[in-house]
């Protein structure tokens, strides 16, 4: 390969690295740190045994219920995710482990209350009536609203009451307030709920079944409501202190008679009917979840771990650099440049992936990076050993560098394939901290091969192609500088 | 170490170090296959024996249980006080350790009722009273037994799949004999590393499992590099070659010796740094467990790629008729003393 081409590769590569870090710098991105590095609470939940086959869709709904509760905690970036049948709740910065445990485990409380009045944000009384919705959100964490008192509760606007994406929720000051009476029927009376076409067959409805006692109470309750008009004809369905829905009793229900044999709530479409049914069934969460792991890391401990990881990485890098320079001199120093470039690329990739796919760097991930220093150094070593072999076989510096590259690259590729394979298998199959480790290890392996084919090759080749540099004894390229006497019997 | 070769001394002395750095050392690895086999067998027997006698000390992540990291303690206390405090909750198998010159402690107990349940919380409270630490300075990790079982199961599955894929890959890339040798080598590494854990009584945590898998990766990488060289050296094994397969393989091993050792050194240096830093850090068990297992495993891995993998390969290869015939002929020629 000609000197110009090598220089070209080197230039393009360096430009790419500058662009990578330029983007990071301009956007002021930082790597996502895991809980164990910044402190917080991590909870792992699993469906309790004995519930038969777990319907993943219902499990997803459960995750949404947990998410909406956690949102009330005011955590900056809660991460609630389902992995297989496992639900992971990561709450960075949260110090109160017991509160977090209570919130995800709490049984959802369902209440039916009579509506006195709905007060939309535009209403002049909005500010005066009850506490603000933001304050009410905080109160929700402390438990359900008192059952035998009149209360003021809020409803998030529109369909967002059952939002899939909580981040699109409207701000609390745009929520409607409701003045509500004491609880008439509670969730314990609900036996079942489902979605069905309504009686007219025109739209969708959520059908409710009560136990016998609940049936009676519900009939009395609706009999009273049916005598009213306007807001007071409505009944509010309250879940965990939020008004989920407040439908009026249908016009054809006569005053004093009420609804017998369960209720029916007309809604817009099938999806809404199913969502509401889910909430109504949720005397508990749709699926009973057990807390399987609860882990708290204090912020100081997290920071200490991060610093320790960085220190270990720096010391490791320095020791490896020293070793390489002692063993290989100038081309050992080139290897140090390769290692530094490796570090720069791995850090850059982790930062960008943190933004792009939400990758989070954990302590196990840091360990993976430190381990990968060895992999990166090995690539440099293989190249230099191959180079020395080629020189011993009597090649010139330039052709030796070329030949050494192709054979060393083949070895690198074979070895890294195995490492990458290991990382992928681990990432897919393992649970817990192992995944974070596998991710960084796999990433580092890819970067190592990429670096070898571009930066390492062009840097080494560039030096080998430069007569001045190649001849310098400190560079360690010439045969005489590393004890490579021609072996007797082999022609130079 | 290479400074003796300068312009003024063109004919440097032919020292062993020099030959070693030149890849011209002539250490007999293959011929002494029996010796290495005995050493490895002895290692395996010791490992299995200690595993049988002492068993493994699994962390709560696998068995279920609760562990506490206490920092900023204000009262005087001993590890006995901590154990007594936990004894109140009816658990016996408690480990307690005072660290950070009395300012901190590590405690772990078997399962305390439900994860995050009343017992877990009462135990946290009790530790806060004994140590005088604020309850928010006590990091509690509770693991349910079902989760622990799952972690173990998944790790074993990952290991099995990994080994399977490795065999397939090496068979395709090289040949089945190499795949088999590599597999035996990996099993050797696993058994010996686990043996060290059993013998010394180190705790097996998820971090140790990570480390074990990394070790396998490294050992395999090392083995693959050696096999790559062996394949290259024996490419032209035929009538014209006056060395046997075993001798060629031995040459290949000597040829990659500097790389093998250098790689081990450069891999161990960062891990050593990790071990050193991790040891001074409260609660960074992950780092330390990992570093420890890596340190042991890499040593074993380096040994096995040289002393186990290739001798097995040669033994297998010399059963192949073509290779056996070639060896036979060479030995007869040499015996005939032309």
- Report mean pLDDT in 10-residue bins for chain A, 492 residues: 79 91 90 83 83 74 74 72 83 81 73 87 82 79 76 74 48 83 80 75 78 83 84 83 81 78 74 72 62 83 80 85 86 88 91 87 81 84 86 83 88 84 82 79 91 88 81 72 45 34
Clarify whether residues A345 and A476 are in a common domain.
Answer: yes
Three-state SS for A108? coil
- Asked if residue B180 and residue B287 are part of one domain, the reply reads yes
Q: Is B14 within a domain?
A: no
What is residue A480's DSSP assignment? G
Query: Residue A407, CB half-sphere, CA atoms under 13 Å: how many?
Result: 21
Domain boundary among B143, B167, B183: B143
Between helix A434-451 and helix B206-233 the angle, nearest 10°, is 30
CATH classification of the domain holding A407: 1.20.1640.10
Give residue A448's pLDDT. 93
Q: Which residues of B touch A300 (CB under 8 A)?
A: 71
* A402 within domain boundaries: yes
Share of chain B above pLDDT 90, in %: 3
Task: Provide the residue range defining the domain that includes A72.
Answer: 40-105+289-294
In the listed set A294, A325, A347, which residue is the last one of a domain according to the structure?
Answer: A294
Chain-centre distance for alpha carbon A251: 48
Based on the domain organization, do A19 and A56 belong to the same domain?
no
Where do runs of H (alpha helix) occur along A110-269?
A: 133-140, 212-225
- What CATH number has the domain bearing residue A241? 3.30.1360.200
Phi, psi of A478 (to 5 degrees): -75, 145
Residues of B within 8 A of A441 (CB-CB) are 214, 217
Q: Residue A252 domain-assigned?
A: yes
Q: Is the pLDDT of residue B223 over 80?
A: yes
Establish if A363 belongs to a structural domain: yes
> Which tops the pLDDT comparison, B97 or A279?
B97
Tell me the two tokens of residue A452: 């070898």
- B215, two tokens: 């070790």
Measured between CA atoms, the residue of chain A closest to residue B9 is A480
What's the pLDDT at B32? 77
CATH number, domain of A66, equals 3.30.70.3220
Q: At what angle do helices B285-304 and B176-200 cross, to 10 degrees?
A: 130
Residues A118, A86: one domain?
Answer: no
Same domain, yes or no: B180 and B221:
yes
User: Which residues, in sequence order, are CB contacts of A83 under 8 Å at separation 6+?
Assistant: A431
Q: Which residues of B touch A293 (CB under 8 A)?
A: 115, 141-144, 147
Report the domain count for chain A: 3
Is the ipTM here above 0.85?
Answer: no
Contact A430 B7 (CB under 8 A): no
Q: What are the strands, taking DSSP E only, across B113-218? A: 138-143, 203-204
Q: Which of A382, A426, A480 sits opposite B158 (nearest CB)?
A: A426
In a domain, B24, yes or no: no
- The answer to pTM > 0.90 is no
Is the pLDDT assigned to residue B1 strictly greater than 60? no
Task: Mark whether A303 and A233 lie in a shared domain.
Answer: no
Residues B94 and B138 in one domain: yes
Kindly state whether residues B132 and B151 are assigned to the same domain: no
**Distance set, CA B276 to CA A49, B98, B172, B212, B269 (Å):** 43, 19, 41, 19, 10
Q: Do A320 and B266 touch (CB under 8 A)?
A: yes
Q: Is B15 part of any domain?
A: no
* CATH code (residue B76): 3.30.70.260
Whether A492 maps to a domain, the answer reads no
Is residue A288 a contact partner of residue A47, using CB atoms and an 8 Å limit?
yes
Identify the domain containing residue B185 by its residue range.
30-57+147-336
Q: Are residues A54 and A150 in the same domain?
A: no
C-alpha distances in Å from residue A293, one per residue of A42, A423, B148, B210: 8, 25, 9, 19
CA B222, CA B306: separation in Å to the nearest integer?
Answer: 9
Of A24-38, A275-289, B2-16, B215-229, the range with the lowest mean pLDDT is B2-16
Let me know if residue A220 belongs to a domain. yes
Query: What is the distance between the alpha carbons of residues A342 and A445, in angstroms, rounded to a whole number?
Result: 10
Is position B85 within any domain? yes
User: Of A249, A281, A313, which one is at a domain's C-terminal end?
Assistant: A281
Q: Is there a single domain that holds both residue B262 and residue B125?
A: no
**Nearest by CB: A381 against B216, B266, B278:** B266
Nearest CA in chain A to B231: A411
């Amino acid at each position: 390969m000609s000197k110009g081409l090598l220089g070209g590769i080197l230039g393009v590569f360096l430009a790419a690295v500058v662009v990578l870090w330029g983007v990071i710098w301009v956007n002021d991105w930082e790597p996502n740190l895991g809980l164990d590095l910044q402190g917080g609470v991590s909870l792992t939940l699993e469906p309790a045994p004995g519930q038969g086959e777990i319907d993943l869709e219902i499990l997803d709904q459960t995750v949404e219920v947990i998410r909406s509760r956690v949102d009330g905690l005011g955590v900056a970036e809660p991460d609630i995710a389902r992995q297989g049948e496992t639900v992971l709740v990561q709450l960075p910065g949260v110090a109160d482990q017991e509160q977090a445990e209570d919130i995800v485990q709490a049984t959802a409380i369902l209440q039916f209350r009579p509506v006195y009045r709905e007060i939309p944000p535009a209403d002049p009384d909005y500010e005066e009536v009850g506490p603000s919705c933001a304050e009410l959100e905080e109160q929700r964490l402390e438990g359900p609203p008192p059952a035998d008192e009149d209360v003021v509760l809020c409803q998030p606007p529109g369909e967002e009451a059952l939002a899939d994406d909580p981040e699109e929720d409207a701000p609390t000051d745009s929520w409607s307030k409701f003045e509500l009476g004491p609880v008439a029927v509670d969730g314990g009376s609900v036996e079942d709920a489902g979605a069905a076409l309504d009686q007219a067959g025109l739209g969708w409805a959520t059908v409710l079944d009560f136990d016998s006692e609940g049936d009676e109470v519900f009939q009395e309750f609706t009999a009273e409501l049916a005598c009213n008009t306007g807001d007071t004809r409505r009944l509010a369905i309250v879940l965990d202190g939020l008004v989920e829905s407040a439908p009026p009793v249908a016009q054809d229900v006569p005053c004093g008679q009420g609804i017998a044999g369960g209720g029916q709530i007309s809604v817009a479409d099938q999806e809404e009917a199913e969502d509401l049914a889910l909430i109504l069934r949720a005397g508990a969460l749709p699926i009973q979840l057990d807390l399987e792991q609860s882990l708290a890391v204090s912020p100081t401990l997290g920071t200490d771990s991060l610093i320790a990881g960085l220190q270990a990485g720096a010391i490791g890098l320095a020791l490896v650099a020293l070793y390489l320079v002692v063993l290989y001199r100038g081309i050992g120093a080139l290897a140090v440049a390769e290692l530094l470039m490796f570090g720069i690329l791995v850090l850059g990739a982790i930062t960008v992936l943190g933004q792009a796919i939400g990758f989070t760097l954990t302590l196990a991930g840091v360990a993976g990076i430190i381990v990968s220093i060895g992999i990166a150094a090995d690539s440099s070593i293989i190249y230099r050993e191959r180079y020395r072999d080629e020189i011993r076989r009597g090649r010139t510096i330039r052709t030796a560098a070329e030949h050494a590259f192709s054979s060393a690259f083949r070895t690198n590729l074979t070895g890294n394939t195995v490492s990458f394979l290991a990382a992928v298998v681990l990432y897919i199959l393992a649970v817990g901290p192992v995944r974070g480790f596998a991710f960084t290890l796999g990433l580092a392996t890819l970067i190592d091969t990429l670096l070898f084919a571009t930066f390492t090759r062009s840097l080494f080749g560039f030096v080998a192609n430069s007569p001045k540099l190649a001849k310098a004894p400190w560079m360690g390229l010439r045969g005489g500088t590393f004890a490579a006497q021609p072996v007797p019997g082999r022609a130079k | 170490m290479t400074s003796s070769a300068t312009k003024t001394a063109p004919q440097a002395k032919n020292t062993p170090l020099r030959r070693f750095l030149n890849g011209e050392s002539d250490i007999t690895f293959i011929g002494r296959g029996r010796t290495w086999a005995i050493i490895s067998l002895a290692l395996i027997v010791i490992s299995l024996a200690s595993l049988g006698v002492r068993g493994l000390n699994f962390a709560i992540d696998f068995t279920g249980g609760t562990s506490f990291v206490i920092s900023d303690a204000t009262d005087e206390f001993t590890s006995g006080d901590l154990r007594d405090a936990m004894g109140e909750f009816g658990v016996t198998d408690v480990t307690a350790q005072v660290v950070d010159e009395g300012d901190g402690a590590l405690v772990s107990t078997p399962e305390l009722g439900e994860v995050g349940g009343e017992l877990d919380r009462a135990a946290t409270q009790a530790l806060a009273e004994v140590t005088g630490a604020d309850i928010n300075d006590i990091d509690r990790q509770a693991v349910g037994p079902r989760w622990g079982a799952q972690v173990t199961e998944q790790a074993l599955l990952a290991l099995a799949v990994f080994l399977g894929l490795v065999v397939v890959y090496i068979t395709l890339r090289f040949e089945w004999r190499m795949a088999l040798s590599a597999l035996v080598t990996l099993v050797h590494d696993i058994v010996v590393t686990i043996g060290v854990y059993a013998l010394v009584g180190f705790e097996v945590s998820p971090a140790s499992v990570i480390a074990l898998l990394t070790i396998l990766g490294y050992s395999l990488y090392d083995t693959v590099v050696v096999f790559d060289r062996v394949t290259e050296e024996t490419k032209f094994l035929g009538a014209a070659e006056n060395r046997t397969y075993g001798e060629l393989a031995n040459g290949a091993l000597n040829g990659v010796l500097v790389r093998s050792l250098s790689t081990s050194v450069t891999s161990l240096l960062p891990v050593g740094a990790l071990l050193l830093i991790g040891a001074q850090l409260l609660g960074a068990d992950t780092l330390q467990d990992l570093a420890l297992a890596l340190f042991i495993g890499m040593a074993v891995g380096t040994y096995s790629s040289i002393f186990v993998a290739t001798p097995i390969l040669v033994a297998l290869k010399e059963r192949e008729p073509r290779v056996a015939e070639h060896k036979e002929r060479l030995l007869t020629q040499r015996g005939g003393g032309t």
